[in-house]
Structure 1
Amino acid sequence: MRKKQKIMLVRILAAAALLIAMNFVPAQGWIRFVLYLIPYLIIGYDILWKAIKGIKNGQVFDECFLMAVATVGAIALALYEKSGDYKEAIAVMLFYQVGEWFQSYAVGKSRRNISDLMDIRPDYANVELDGRLEKVDPDEVEIGSMIIVQPGEKVPIDGVIVEGDSTLNTSALTGESLPRDAKPGDDIISGCINMTGVLRVRTTREFGESTVSRILDLVENASSRKSKSEDFISKFARVYTPAVCYAALALAFLPPLVRMIVLGLPAGWETWIYRALTFLVISCPCALVISIPLSFFAGIGGASNAGVLVKGSNYLETLSKTRTVVFDKTGTLTQGVFEVNGIHHNEIEDQKLLEYAALAESASSHPISKSLKKAYGKEIDRTRVTDIREISGNGVTALVDGVEVAAGNDKLMDHLGIPYRSCHSVGTIIHMAVNGQYAGHIVISDIVKPRAKEAVRMLKRAGVRKTVMLTGDAKKVADQVAKDLGIDTVYSELLPADKVEKVEALLKEQPEKEQLAFVGDGINDAPVLRRADIGIAMGAMGSDAAIEAADVVLMDDDPMQIAKAIRISRKCLGIVYQNIVFAIGIKLICLFLGAIGIANMWLAIFADVGVMILAVLNAIRALFVKKL
């Protein structure tokens, strides 16, 4: 509990104790008024001051103004009637502050989830200078510096491990507690906690561009992107508050004037002014203005704690309406770990064919290229390779030791006019041509992620109508993966530009109120991530393209996180709609009862503070995310 909350709690308890004690004090007249004024000012001085400041600044119609007018009016009415019953005015202010305290506590609780994420911000970096360690601010560390990360310390800046083996705790980034092994040559990202060995790391980015800085910036700015529901509530409050003030004014003066002038009856000013003051207390829009943004804030906080970073409440709202999910295959549904599991050749040896393929692909960072180089198993001598030419979506051609080598798919062979032999194996087929003659092919298979099939099933359970897979892979491979995972529709042998066209076509087929989500690895899928209604980048730790292009960033590579993200968004939106219906419904009923004289100030307190507390408590539920 923060210091401000503790002070407010003391004020609430003190005012409540004095209010109870006044029932046993036999004071009358002005002495009674002064004694009751003490608890009123203890609990309400800040509300009165805010109301005065609002009037000075021209921002009259807010909840502080409504509370001030209602309670000061009730006290003035008690003085005029000489009833000495000031309890209602003090009770209104007291319970209003109780509601504000609950709201402050709820915001603090949801902020705590984001604060937990903020704990990944490193305080220092150990820079190695002349054989000794010096603690410096991470902002001062330049690219290429050598830093030491000791056991128990946070990794301050992105880099590459030069020396040392360890395990890393990535729970602050992914929401999962499973540690990850780290060894020399591995990339390491800021925000992880080094658990065991000492690591020497060469930095590859400045602190301002590191993963931890980007994530913190993303979460801190999430509240600036408002959803349609939040915009509606803001606009509603701007119109609603002045309207009820004028309605209360009309309720205070019009009926008495009609009774006195038209009907010739006693005006009954006290009765109607009391009803107007009750009307003002009931009309205070606190429950809506506070609980709706709080629901979204809690939803974003709960999601971030589960490793799902949502860039704004507008994306949370869009995600909840998702009925079509489009997947990129490699790295999303499959591990992106390709292994050579077959070499079929004509008159050339297996190892020689693999050597040609590995050297021709030596300049590429594509997973297939990496698998070829890994299968070759020897150090690549780039001086042996010249005239490398990559044909997008087809493959590569190059001169290896002066020999013309082509490595790619069917389209590359067709492009070069080289007859090729089809293969019955399921996998990615890399056709090879040497000096313009077909030399054979290499079969490479990707590995489906362990929980991919379950993830697709969970999406269907979450209300997703259609699942689609897009891939540049061969039709036979794509169809097999789609069948194994239960994907509804698959489009294969696509170039990067074709994926955008397919998503645009799917968007046109979408019903108006439904949304389409694209899930990719965030590196080569940036155009599609931006084009979809909502882009989801998964397994995006350290990926600039993911954080920049996607609307939702899943910090783990587990496809089950997609269903979790949708479930979080729907729970949050459900809470928002519950609060809207509940708050407006109770307000309208109580306003009507107050206008006709059935509701008194105590019912007004429930209609204002009681509804707000219930709505705030309901909003807090968005913080809690069940594990799948």
Structure 2
Amino acid sequence: MTKKQKNVLNRIIIAIVLLIVITVFKTIVPVPGYVEFILYLIPYFVIGHDILRKSIKNISRGQVFDENFLMAVATIGAMCLGEYLEGSAVMVFYQIGELFQSIAVGKSRKNIAALMDIRPDYANIMVDGEIEEVDPDDVEIGSEIIVNPGEKVPIDGIIVEGDTTLNTSALTGESVPRNAHCGDEIYSGSINMTARITVKTTKEFGESTVSKILDLVENSSMKKSKTENFITKFAKYYTPVVCYSALALAIIPPIVLTFMGQPAHVGDWIFRALTFLVISCPCALVISIPLSFFGGIGCASKNGILVKGSNYLETLSDVKYFVFDKTGTLTKGVFEVTDVVPAEGFDKDNLLEYAAYAESASTHPISVSLKKAYNQKIDNTLVDHIQEIAGHGVEADYNGHHILAGNAKLMKLKSIDYSAYTKAGTLVYVAVDDKYAGCIVISDIIKDHAKEAISGLKSLGAKETVMLTGDSASTAELVAKTIGIDTVHSELLPADKVEEVEKLLAKKSDKEKLAFVGDGINDAPVLSRADIGIAMGGLGSDAAIEAADVVLMDDDPLKISLAMKISTKTLRIVKQNIVFALAVKFICLVLGALGIANMWLAIFADVGVMILAVMNATRALTIHN
């Protein structure tokens, strides 16, 4: 509990004790009315002086209609009508409600701060043989920093000395530690677990992963959902309306009754109007709705899902069409040899050897996968005259043999009589001394949770899942069939992807939303064109963080369905609060206008409803898969 909250609690206790003492005292010792009024003013000012001060200050600024004004008018009016106990009690219970609200909001912010407690306080640098702690903002690119076991990595960089294990749960939501070796890139916000490492920084602190993540979470409240904007506008007009309605309730009925020759009882109607004001206070809606979205965004952050605003969190629940990029999104973007088919006179080992040496000078992912499959040290002295033939492949001389390795176009270009292979994947045909030696099949690896992710989206109501890729039709169809994608469009250029998304946008209804899921690097045009862009951000992918509305920090497509669940449940909590608060207030307002509700019921309609709504809103923090 903060110092301010303790102060309010102390005032509440003092006020309650004074009210009890005064009430008991006046029942034992008869006191004149003016003395009773003075006695009750003491606890009233003890508990309500700050509300009165805020009300006067806001009125001087032209901000008349708010909860402070409603409480001030209602309680002062009650005191003037001789309802001293009720007037003071309303202020006490209002402050109790405010205290509960403050504690609940503080708890939510504290929970989110704990989830995002990844901002490093210092960085270790070596100065004259001594380790010195400095502000991470003062560390320049290319500096070497030391990270000890148990410390947070302060700035993105590359390990230049040491091997260790990193806890990246604050970034990705995954609890499984990751091994990091010399030469690996690591990201700020990770926690070094096992050994001291030296890291050469590759970014300034302000541009590092941890800063970008914190900036996104801290600014997410700036982008409000439609529901939040509606509540803000609603409260803006609602409060003046109920104030004027209360005024009308205090004035019109007595005039009409007097005109009709009936007893007016002006004091009763004024008391009804004051009760009406207390009931009408919109605190439950104004506080609980933003708190619900704040909790939902915090819960998503805990699970490695960065949502850039409550408007995007709200949109997620309406997504019915999911469009996926293939490489890096549904597949790992890591190629490996999945089949080796030697021709007559060759074996698998020979074929891989010839292909690996032919591709030995290339860093292309396909070349890397061939060398990895060969799994032998390449002796560069045995290969020469390597020549790349653009769009076809390579040719080289290896150990006295002339090698060709490439696609079918290369075989045709060199007039090699080859056997066409039909298996899906990238096909590398190999010829040795102008004789066909066989075919090597290289495939991208499908992500572990890709099939489960698509199934999960369909169970949540997705109408259609679509995959757009520049790959060949056979490769695309194989991936789509394996993981359960409904529609495939292959051999597309970036502009073609935008065109396909435009067709889907024209096809869906206005209420239905379309999400594009990509790697955030080559898919920026499509990410921005979709209703909501979801990027497989990976750790430290600047392009992904900039381009998308939602970023999955661990590249796991299964997190999409979790994000939708968080969105749906957050909106359910929001709707529960709206319906509950408005229903209770409407019923109590009617009862208050009819004179059935007293100040005690008014207190429940305001303070009680607010406490229940805020407590319900905090449930958004605990949503999980």
Asked if Structure 1 and Structure 2 have the same fold, meaning a TM-score greater than 0.5 normalized by the shorter chain, the answer is: yes
1:605 aligned onto 2:607: no
Structure 2 stretches of 5 or more lacking a match?
A: none
1:82 counterpart residue number = none
Residues 501-510 or 278-287, more deviating: 501-510
| Pair 1:143–1:438, CA change in 2 (3 A) | farther
Q: Provide the residue aligned with 1:178 in structure 2.
A: 176
Q: 1:379 to 1:56 in 2, by over 3 A?
A: farther
Relative distance call for 1:466 and 1:436 in structure 2 (3 A) is farther
Mapped pair 1:7 → 2:4? no
For residues 131-150 of structure 1, the aligned pairs below 5 Å read 131-150=129-148
CA distance in 2, matches of 1:126, 1:184: 18
Question: 1:457 maps to what in 2?
Answer: 455
Distance in 2, Cα, partners of 1:293 & 1:173: 24
Structure 2 vs 1, CA of residues 16 and 289 (structure 1 numbering), >3 Å: closer, same or farther? same
Structure 1 partner of 2:50: 46
Query: Partner amino acid for 1:291?
Result: S
Letter in 2 for 1:297: F
Instruction: Note if contact 2:357-2:378 (Cα within 8 Å) is conserved in structure 1.
Output: no
- The reply to whether residue 490 of structure 1 matches residue 488 of structure 2 is yes
- After superposition, the C-alpha distances for 1:567-590 in whole angstroms (9 at most, x for unaligned) are 000000111111111112222222
Q: Which residue does the alignment assign to 2:442?
A: 444
Alignment partner of 2:41 out of 34, 37, 44 = 37
Is 1:89 paired with 2:87? yes
Letter in 1 for 2:306: L
- Of residues 323-332 and 396-405 in structure 1, the stretch that sits farther from structure 2 once superposed is 396-405
Aligned with residue 81 of structure 2, among 77, 90, 113: 77
Alignment of 1:158-557 (within 5 A): 158-260=156-258, 262-343=259-340, 350-359=352-361, 361-362=362-363, 364=364, 367-368=365-366, 370-372=368-370, 374-375=372-373, 422-430=420-428, 441-557=439-555
- After superposition, the Cα gap between the structure-2 partners of 1:24 and 1:527, relative to the gap in structure 1 and judged at 3 Å, is same
Indicate whether 1:115 and 2:113 are aligned: yes
1:398 touches 1:404 (CA, 8 Å); kept in 2?
A: no
Q: In structure 1, how many angstroms separate the alpha carbons of the residues matched to 2:112 and 2:389?
A: 47
Q: TM-score, normalised to structure 2's length? A: 0.90
Instruction: Return the letter of the residue paired with 2:80.
Output: A
**What does the per-residue CA deviation read over 1:254-277, in whole Å, with 9 as the maximum and x for residues that have no partner?**
1112222x2133332101111111
CA–CA distance in structure 1, aligned partners of residues 202 and 81 of structure 2:
71
Question: 4+ residue runs of structure 1 moved beyond 6 angstroms?
Answer: 345-348, 383-390, 396-420, 432-440
Q: In the TM superposition, what is the alpha-carbon distance from 1:416 to its structure 2 partner?
A: 12
Which digits, 9 at most, give the CA deviation of each residue in 1:17-51, with x for residues without a partner? 22223221124422222221122112211111110
Once residues 291 and 493 of structure 2 are traced to their aligned partners in structure 1, the CA distance between those partners, rounded to angstroms, is 43
Seen in structure 2, the aligned counterparts of structure 1 residues 279 and 139 have a Cα distance that, compared at 3 Å, is same
Name the counterpart of 1:558.
Answer: 556
Q: CA deviation at 1:286?
A: 0.8
SS at match of 1:337: strand
What one-letter code is carried by the residue in structure 2 that aligns with 1:143? Answer: I
Paired residue type of 1:77: L
How many corresponding residue pairs? Answer: 612
Within 2, Cα distance between the matches of 1:211 and 1:396?
39
Supply the distance in 2 between the matched residues of 1:540 and 1:13 (Cα, whole angstroms). 52
Q: What CA distance in whole angstroms lies between the structure 1 residues aligned with 2:386 and 2:213?
A: 41
Relative to structure 1, is the Cα distance of residues 599 and 441 closer, same or farther in structure 2, using a 3 angstrom cutoff?
same
Residue 315 of structure 1 and its aligned partner are, at CA, apart by 0.3
Q: Distance in 2 between matches of 1:201 and 1:384?
A: 38
Whether the 8 Å CA contact 2:167–2:190 is kept in 1: the answer is yes
**Paired residues of 1:355 and 1:376 also in contact (CA < 8 A):** no
Q: CA deviation at 1:77?
A: 1.0
Change (3 A) 1:206 1:512: same
Task: Tell me, yes or no, if the aligned pair for 2:403 and 2:431 is still in contact at 8 Å.
Answer: yes
- Asked whether the equivalents of residues 305 and 553 of structure 2 are also in contact (C-alpha less than 8 Å), the reply is yes
Specify the SS of the correspondent of 2:511. coil
Shift of 1:446: 2.4
Do 1:113 and 1:302's aligned partners in 2 also have CA atoms closer than 8 Å?
no
> Is the Cα–Cα contact under 8 Å of residues 385 and 398 in structure 1 kept in the other structure?
no
The superposition leaves residues 372-408 of structure 1 with CA deviations (integer Å, 9 ceiling, x where unpaired) of: 4544666798x98999797xxxx57678799999987
2: distance between equivalents of 1:442 and 1:67?
79
Q: CA deviation at 1:191?
A: 0.3
Q: Which moved more, 1:349-358 or 1:295-304?
A: 349-358
Between the aligned partners of 1:41 and 1:619, the Cα distance in structure 2 is 32
CA distance in 2, matches of 1:416, 1:317: 58
Please, which moves more after superposition, 367-376 or 325-334?
367-376
CA–CA distance in structure 2, aligned partners of residues 93 and 47 of structure 1:
9
Q: 1:430 to 1:113 in 2, by over 3 A?
A: farther
Amino acid of the structure 1 residue aligned with 2:261: G
- Whole-angstrom CA distance in 2 between matches of 1:287 and 1:100: 11
**How far, CA to CA, are the matches of 1:11 and 1:207 in structure 2?**
45
In 2: Cα distance, 1:231 partner to 1:319 partner: 17
Q: Which amino acid aligns with 1:586?
A: V
Check 1:317–1:420 CA distance in 2 against 1; reply closer, same or farther (3 A cut).
farther
Structure 1 residues 373 and 207: CA distance shift in structure 2, 3 A: farther
Aligned AA (1:488): D
Residue by residue over 1:59-106, the C-alpha shift from the partner in whole angstroms, topping out at 9 and shown as x without a partner, is 10111101100111110111xxxxxx3121122112211221222122
Q: Does 1:24 align with 2:24?
A: yes
The alpha-carbon distance between structure 1 residues 499 and 267, as it changes in their structure 2 partners (threshold 3 A), is: same
- Contact kept, 8 Å, 1:522 with 1:540, in 2: the verdict is no
Cα deviation, residue 606, structure 1: 1.4
Tell me which amino acid in the other structure corresponds to 2:10: V
Separation in structure 2 between the aligned mates of residue 474 and residue 345 of structure 1, nearest angstrom? 23
Query: Hey, what does 1:63 align to over in structure 2?
Result: 67
1:494 CA drift (Å): 2.6
Is the Cα–Cα contact under 8 Å of residues 387 and 395 in structure 2 kept in the other structure? yes
Query: For 1:102, which of 100, 103, 106 is the aligned residue?
Result: 100
Give the match for residue 618 of structure 1. 616
Equivalent AA in structure 2 for residue 55 of structure 1: I
Displacement of 1:186: 1.1
More deviation in 424-433 or 262-271?
A: 424-433
Shift of 1:109: 1.7
Q: Distance in 1 between matches of 2:183 and 2:370?
A: 19
Contact persistence 2:358–2:395 (CA under 8 A) = no
CA distance in 2, matches of 1:617, 1:385: 74
Q: CA deviation at 1:343?
A: 4.7
Measure how far apart 1:523 and its partner are.
Answer: 2.5
Aligned residue for 1:339, secondary structure, equals: strand
